[in-house]
Amino acid sequence: MKKILERIYLGIILLFMYAPIVTLIVLSFNLSKSRARWGGFTLNWYIRLFSDRAVASALMNTLSIAVLATIFSTIIGTITCIAMIGLSPRLRSVITGVTNIPMINADIVTGISLMLLFRFLHIGSGFMTILLAHITFDIPFVMLSVMPRIKNMNFYVYEAALDLGATPFYAFRKTILPDLMPGVISGALMAFTMSLDDFIITYFTKGSGFETLSTLIYNEVKRGIQPEIYALSAIIFVVVLTLLLINSGASDNIIKEKK
Amino acid sequence: MKLFKSGRNAYLMASPYLAWAVIFILVPLAMVVYYGFTDGNGSFTLNNVVRISDPGYFKALWRSIYLAVISTLICFLIAYPLGMILSSMKLSNNAFLVTLFILPMWMNFLLRTLTWMTLLEGKGVINTLLDIVHLPAINIINTPGAIILGMVYNFLPFMILPIYNSLSRIDENIINAARDLGADSVQTFMRITLPLSVPGIISGITMVFIPALTTFAISTMLGGSKILLIGNIIEQQFTLVYDWHLGSGLSIVLMIFILINMIVQAVYDKEGGALG
């Protein structure tokens, strides 16, 4: 009896979480423009979406910013994590503290603080400012997933490699890097997802006339929802869901390997 | 450690990020503080911060706190039983289930809010369904109720994750020991399970309360731009009114809440978080 009640509770919460998303995806195939009536199946909104140039350019902006921010933040984050091994405990805790700031701070404060900086420095173009902002909030996520690997690392293998005549770089590449890699990959995926997903910080740092998918959707929604937006939302949901499932699958495998 | 022959190499490697963090994390925050405490001529003033007591702004702040507290409470009441159920299941077959509950955390919150706009509007999906079964329509779009719903929907996973984590870490032997010593299930819960999950609860409350307190998009989309939260007021200062000083001053008020939260969190989270 208790089991059944528990299952029902889980079911209701899952329904609450996913039914709205499913509804949205269903509506993206609805021929009728009305949200209240099913007018038959259509791919019309998807076709309209793909021929919309504003959407195409926003998509390009979103993807190029996400890819570049992921590359830069992964490199900087990983290097910093490796450096943490050799730093004094005090500097290490300073870095940890500063890195925690963007994660704890409200996005709106992070967004306006960066906006003030960019206005002060007269960095005007939307692409550059958003990219810098995204790298900034992505680095903590990379470090968060690389750091545990560093902590659990066995450095004796590295020292053994050196004793056996390997050059430091070769030893690093053969012993430490493979151990770090799962953390680096999941950090990169995390950074990519966060960058793809961000609205608030992008909104404050973009300047006028430059749109990403998130800001485009926000503008459209304020004007009234068109079915194309449902199509766009459905695509984003599916892509992000796939990315996340890959990522959680990857980390599950890591857990299994360890056991 | 032989990885770094001397400390200098490590400092060299850490320096790019240190520079980055100073320029893009610390300096911007210092600028908010600077703008918040100066007027248009650059001279010191407390005016921007004090203006939170303007009736309109104070009402928005009070409303934000009120809605954020209710949303946080609802999230907690939903998430705690959920966390208990999930943590009582065997790990091997619930990993995917847990993932399902936490996944929406990383899905675009604008889109998730948009779904509720669609569901709740006057002739929206929910009212159409209600009409089919001859039930009266509900009109909660553009009310505080809709904003609370939006907040709970968006931030629930942030409550589930830390509570589940702290509950699943509790050693089963402690609970069994309490049972063996004669505690009933209510006593076991009140004196063992609940106190041991406090760090998770605190962390969940922070992760829901801060974004709920500071949101402006959810209130714009579900509150019909008539119900202003403190986030809306600050947003307007930067995107409509261009009064950066006032916007920064009001942000400083928000940062006080965030700071209090950080302190509470630090007191309870002695492990120092994942990075420490």
Q: Does B220 touch chain A (CB under 8 A)?
A: yes
Substitution target from A112, A164, A195, A243 for chain B, most B beta carbons within 10 A: A112
Average pLDDT of chain A, as a whole number: 87
> Considering only CB atoms, which chain A residues are within 8 Å of B3?
82, 85-86, 155, 158, 172, 176
Q: Which of residues 163-192 of B touch A (CB under 8 A)?
A: none
> Considering only CB atoms, which chain B residues are within 8 Å of A87?
7, 10-11, 14
Q: Does B24 touch chain A (CB under 8 A)?
A: yes
Domain ranges for chain A: 1-42, 51-258
What is the pLDDT confidence band of residue B95, given thresholds at 50, 70 and 90?
confident
Q: Does B133 touch chain A (CB under 8 A)?
A: no
Substitution target from A5, A14, A16, A17 for chain B, most B beta carbons within 10 A: A17
3-state secondary structure of A248: helix
Q: What is the C-alpha to C-alpha distance for residues B195 and A127, in angstroms, rounded to an integer? A: 48
Do A25 and A234 form a contact (C-beta atoms < 8 A)? yes
> Considering only CB atoms, which chain A residues are within 8 Å of B214?
106-109
Q: What is the pLDDT at residue A257?
A: 44
Q: Does domain A51-258 sit in CATH 3.90.1530.10?
A: no
The candidate with the shortest Cα–Cα distance to A101, out of A116, A113, A84, is A113
Among B118, B157, B217, whose Cβ lies nearest the Cβ of A27? Answer: B118
Per-residue model confidence as pLDDT tens digits over A34-80: 777 788 888 988 998 889 898 889 999 999 999 999 999 999 999 99
Do A187 and A146 form a contact (C-beta atoms < 8 A)? yes
What is the pLDDT confidence band of residue B169, given thresholds at 50, 70 and 90?
confident
Do A231 and A28 form a contact (C-beta atoms < 8 A)? yes
Q: What is the C-alpha to C-alpha distance for residues A36 and B128, in angstroms, rounded to an integer? A: 6
Among B14, B123, B213, whose Cβ lies nearest the Cβ of A95? Answer: B14
The candidate with the shortest Cα–Cα distance to A121, out of A34, A27, A35, A205, is A205
Structural tokens at position A29: 């195939």
CB within 8 Å of B273: residues ≥ 6 apart = A96, A100
Closest-approach residue (CA) in chain B for A18? B104
> Considering only CB atoms, which chain A residues are within 8 Å of B224?
none
What is the pLDDT confidence band of residue B6, given thresholds at 50, 70 and 90?
low
Substitution target from A92, A105, A157 for chain B, most B beta carbons within 10 A: A105
> Considering only CB atoms, which chain B residues are within 8 Å of A222?
220, 225
Closest-approach residue (CA) in chain B for A238? B107
Q: What is the pLDDT at residue A193?
A: 85
Angle at A163 between CA A161 and CA A168, to 5 degrees: 55
Q: What is the pLDDT at residue B272?
A: 45
Q: What is the pLDDT at residue A254?
A: 46
Do B65 and B148 form a contact (C-beta atoms < 8 A)? no
pLDDT at B117 over 60: yes
Q: Is B106–A99 a contact, with Cβ atoms under 8 angstroms apart?
A: no
pLDDT at B274 over 50: no
pLDDT at A225 over 90: no
The DSSP symbol for B38 reads: B
Q: Cα–chain-centroid distance for residue B42? A: 34
Please state which of the ranges A196-200, B104-108, B256-260 shows the lowest mean pLDDT: B104-108
Q: What is the pLDDT at residue A232?
A: 87
Per-residue model confidence as pLDDT tens digits over A80-103: 999 988 888 899 999 998 998 898
Rounded average pLDDT over B205-226: 90
Question: Taking the domain B51-268, which CATH number applies?
Answer: 1.10.3720.10
Q: What is the pLDDT at residue A73?
A: 97
The candidate with the shortest Cα–Cα distance to B205, out of B71, B63, B72, is B72
Q: What is the pLDDT at residue B229?
A: 94
Q: Does B29 touch chain A (CB under 8 A)?
A: yes
What is the pLDDT confidence band of residue B23, given thresholds at 50, 70 and 90?
very high
Q: What is the C-alpha to C-alpha distance for residues A25 and A230, in angstroms, rounded to an integer? A: 7
What is the pLDDT confidence band of residue B2, given thresholds at 50, 70 and 90?
low
Rounded average pLDDT over B103-112: 82
Q: Is A86–B21 a contact, with Cβ atoms under 8 angstroms apart?
A: no
Q: What is the pLDDT at residue A258?
A: 40
What is the pLDDT confidence band of residue A168, given thresholds at 50, 70 and 90?
confident
CA distance B177 to chain A (A): 23
Among B4, B82, B244, whose Cβ lies nearest the Cβ of A86? Answer: B4
Q: What is the pLDDT at residue A133?
A: 97
Among B109, B119, B156, whose Cβ lies nearest the Cβ of A23? Answer: B119
pLDDT at B51 over 60: yes
Rounded average pLDDT over B118-136: 83
pLDDT at B178 over 70: yes
Q: Does B114 touch chain A (CB under 8 A)?
A: yes
The four Cα atoms A188, A191, A192, A198 give a dihedral, to 10 degrees, of: 180
Give φ, ψ of B72 to 5 degrees.
Answer: -60, -40
Which ipTM value was assigned to this complex?
Answer: 0.87
> Considering only CB atoms, which chain A residues are within 8 Å of B75?
none
Q: What is the C-alpha to C-alpha distance for residues A134 and A198, in angstroms, rounded to an integer? A: 8
Q: What is the C-alpha to C-alpha distance for residues B130 and B182, in angstroms, rounded to an integer? A: 50
Size of interface A-B (CB pairs under 8 A): 250
What is the pLDDT confidence band of residue B270, given thresholds at 50, 70 and 90?
low
CA distance A105 to chain B (A): 7
Q: What is the pLDDT at residue A251?
A: 56
